[in-house]
């Protein structure tokens, strides 16, 4: 990077840090009130909620990992983003009213209130482990990889910088995170669009034309196989995105669990009233529709340029093609100043996501473990300080663990999706039954947690010991080019495990004698699910747009 790039980046840092400090000074209550610190209760507007959702969601795994998947498999990876838009509407209509009506502030609290403390404590430990070992580590590692590639900064120093920046923002509480996320999203979208613009222009120039639209047309011509949204079984990427089942099976579990049963995400809306929270989710749905333009198209452009002779050495690491290098390689081609802007966008995405994840770790540990089991009489001020300590400790653990997980070998985005999928089916089944079937018992919930995880592990290692090729004719198995073994795609594994959890929960609940059935059900009323006309119209527009996109790129 050149001097102008560093100037732009420093301006970004000053704006975010200064605005965060100003919010902190205005809202000094966060130093004394734990609910305000963790949830920003009643103070986030719909646009702040929506922006914070996207800032927390879009991070290195998308900017780097999903761009890398765009390089290797194309537009099909955008199904995570576009189906998320539909999922946000489902969550806004059906999940949020239940949480807010029953004054649910954390996901373990929901489990404690609906089931029992044992279920809540086990899941709190599951979530803390998942957030630190899988999510924080991946975000830190991929973010540092990109920053190191673009700026030449030492990889370890880049990780330390990202962790430190995120800690500074997180220590101010959810209000500071929520409002600084608005600025982060602005930089993210502006810098991301600038990178896409440059990438498409580069494609045009490489083939003797000019203009973004010509570049987009050339992408569809030179990499037509990268514009299929649904893969056939012959496609080598079928193992990652198994055809039509992404529309009907595991992809729904991924998204509904992530957007509806995930402390990291739902926390943004749990401190607001229902209409504000719903409008925030709808705003986030519109932003999700835009994300593939920012994170997937650059990856496809890098693939076309690579096929035409560019980036032959830049895409390699130790002689091996590394898909996650696609986005950083493009950033290095930006002109001075613009590179600083895109660098700031990438940093914004990483820092916002780290801050949001760390805040959720802090919330679960403080409110669900520390307050409930360690110090039940803790003061509000004590809770806030414990939360801050949890932020720092979790970030240090992630810094230590990240280099040893082999994140760069698998592809960062897929790494997160697959390993989160070990617990997602059981969690989602437990939440859905807890919401809508009063007879669901704590024993059934425990089966979903423990049994779901065990089944996920069994399905993962099964192909090493059993020939599963008999599932190929019906589309539930495919040859993994990386291992040479016929495997069950992880999205299909999630679907199988979810079905097992559902059947097990029904049988266990029905077998429970009447005097042992739960009495601590939630308050659920059909009238809760009624939406405002504005939300309904906005949701219909999103669904129509999605239908057009899938029809166009099927």
**What are the C-alpha distances in Å from 222 to residues 48, 75, 517?**
40, 14, 61
Q: Per the structure block, which two tokens stand in for 433? A: 């039954």
Question: What is the average pLDDT value for the chain, to the nearest integer?
Answer: 85
Helices 250-260 and 79-90 cross at an angle (nearest 10°) of 60
Closest CA relative to residue 174, chosen from 384, 9, 16, 428: 384
For 400-433, what is each residue's pLDDT tens digit?
988 877 665 555 567 677 778 888 999 999 999 9
Instruction: Indicate the fold that domain 3-17+56-420 takes in CATH.
Output: Sodium/glucose cotransporter (1.20.1730)
Q: Return the domain boundaries, the chain.
A: 3-17+56-420, 425-523
Percent of the chain with pLDDT over 70: 94
Q: What is the pLDDT of residue 11?
A: 87
Is the pLDDT at 20 greater than 60? The verdict is yes
Q: What is the pLDDT of residue 149?
A: 74
For 70-107, what is each residue's pLDDT tens digit?
998 999 999 999 999 999 999 999 999 998 888 887 78
8 A C-beta contact, residue 143 and residue 64: yes
8 A C-beta contact, residue 453 and residue 430: no
CA distance 328 to 351: 17
Is the pLDDT at 286 greater than 80? The verdict is yes
Kind plus residue range of the DSSP H or E element containing 487: strand 485-487
Select the highest-mean-pLDDT range: 7-11, 49-53, 133-137, 451-455: 451-455
Q: Per the structure block, which two tokens stand in for 225? A: 């196989």
Q: Which residues contact 543 (CB under 8 A, 6 or more apart)?
A: 86, 89
Is the pLDDT at 28 greater than 80? The verdict is no
Sign of CA dihedral 304, 307, 313, 318: positive
Q: What is the pTM of this model?
A: 0.84
Q: Per the structure block, which two tokens stand in for 129? A: 């482990």
CA distance 13 to 168: 12
Q: What is the pLDDT of residue 504?
A: 97
Is the pLDDT at 204 greater than 60? The verdict is yes
CA distance 212 to 214: 5
CA distance 246 to 242: 6
For 352-362, what is each residue's pLDDT tens digit?
788 888 888 88
């Amino acid at each position: 990077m050149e001097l102008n790039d560093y100037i732009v980046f420093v301006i970004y840092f000053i704006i975010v840090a200064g605005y965060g400090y100003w919010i902190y000074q205005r809202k000094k209550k966060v130093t004394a009130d734990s609910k305000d610190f963790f949830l920003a209760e009643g103070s986030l507007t719909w646009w702040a909620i929506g922006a914070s959702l996207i800032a927390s969601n879009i991070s290195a795994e998308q900017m780097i990992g999903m761009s890398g998947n765009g390089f290797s498999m194309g537009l099909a990876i955008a199904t995570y983003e576009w189906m998320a838009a539909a999922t946000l509407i489902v969550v806004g209509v059906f999940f949020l009213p239940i949480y807010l009506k029953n004054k649910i502030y954390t996901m373990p609290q929901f489990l404690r209130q609906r089931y029992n403390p044992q279920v809540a404590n086990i899941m709190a430990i599951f979530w803390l482990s998942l957030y630190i070992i899988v999510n924080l580590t991946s975000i830190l590692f991929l973010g540092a990889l990109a920053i190191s590639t673009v700026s030449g900064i030492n990889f370890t120093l880049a990780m330390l910088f990202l962790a430190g920046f995120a800690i500074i923002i997180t220590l101010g509480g959810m209000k500071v995170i929520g409002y600084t996320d608005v600025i982060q999203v602005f930089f993210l979208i502006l810098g991301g669009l600038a990178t896409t613009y440059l990438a498409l222009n580069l494609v045009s120039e490489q083939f003797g034309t000019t203009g973004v639209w010509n570049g987009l047309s050339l992408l569809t011509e030179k990499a037509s196989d990268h514009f299929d949204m649904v893969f056939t079984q012959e496609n080598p990427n079928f193992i990652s995105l198994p055809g039509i089942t992404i529309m009907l099976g595991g992809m729904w579990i991924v998204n509904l669990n992530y957007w509806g049963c995930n402390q990291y995400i739902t926390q943004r809306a749990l401190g607001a009233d229902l209409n504000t929270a719903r409008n925030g989710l709808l705003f986030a749905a519109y932003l999700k529709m835009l994300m593939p333009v920012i994170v997937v198209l650059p990856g496809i452009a890098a693939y076309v340029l690579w096929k035409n002779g560019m980036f032959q050495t830049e895409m390699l690491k130790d002689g091996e093609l590394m898909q996650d290098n696609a986005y950083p390689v493009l950033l290095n081609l930006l002109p001075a100043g613009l590179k600083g802007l895109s660098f700031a966008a990438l940093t914004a995405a990483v820092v916002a996501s780290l801050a949001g994840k760390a805040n959720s770790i802090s919330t679960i540990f403080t409110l669900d473990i520390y307050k409930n089991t360690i110090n039940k009489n803790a003061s509000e001020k004590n809770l806030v300080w414990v939360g801050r300590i949890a932020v720092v400790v979790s970030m240090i653990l992630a810094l230590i663990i990240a280099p040893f997980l082999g994140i760069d070998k698998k592809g960062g985005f897929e790494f997160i999706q697959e390993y989160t999928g070990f617990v997602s089916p059981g969690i989602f089944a437990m939440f859905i039954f807890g919401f809508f079937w009063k007879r669901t018992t704590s024993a059934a919930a425990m089966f979903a947690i423990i049994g779901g995880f065990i089944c996920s592990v069994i399905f993962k290692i099964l192909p090493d010991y059993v020939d599963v090729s008999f599932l190929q004719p019906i589309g539930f198995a495919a040859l993994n080019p990386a291992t040479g073994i016929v495997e069950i795609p992880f999205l299909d594994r999630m679907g199988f495990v979810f079905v097992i959890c559902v059947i097990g929960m029904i049988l266990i609940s029905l077998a429970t004698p009447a005097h042992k059935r739960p009495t601590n059900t939630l308050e659920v009323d059909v009238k809760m699910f009624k939406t405002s006309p504005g939300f309904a119209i906005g949701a219909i527009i999103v669904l129509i747009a999605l239908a057009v996109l899938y029809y166009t790129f099927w």
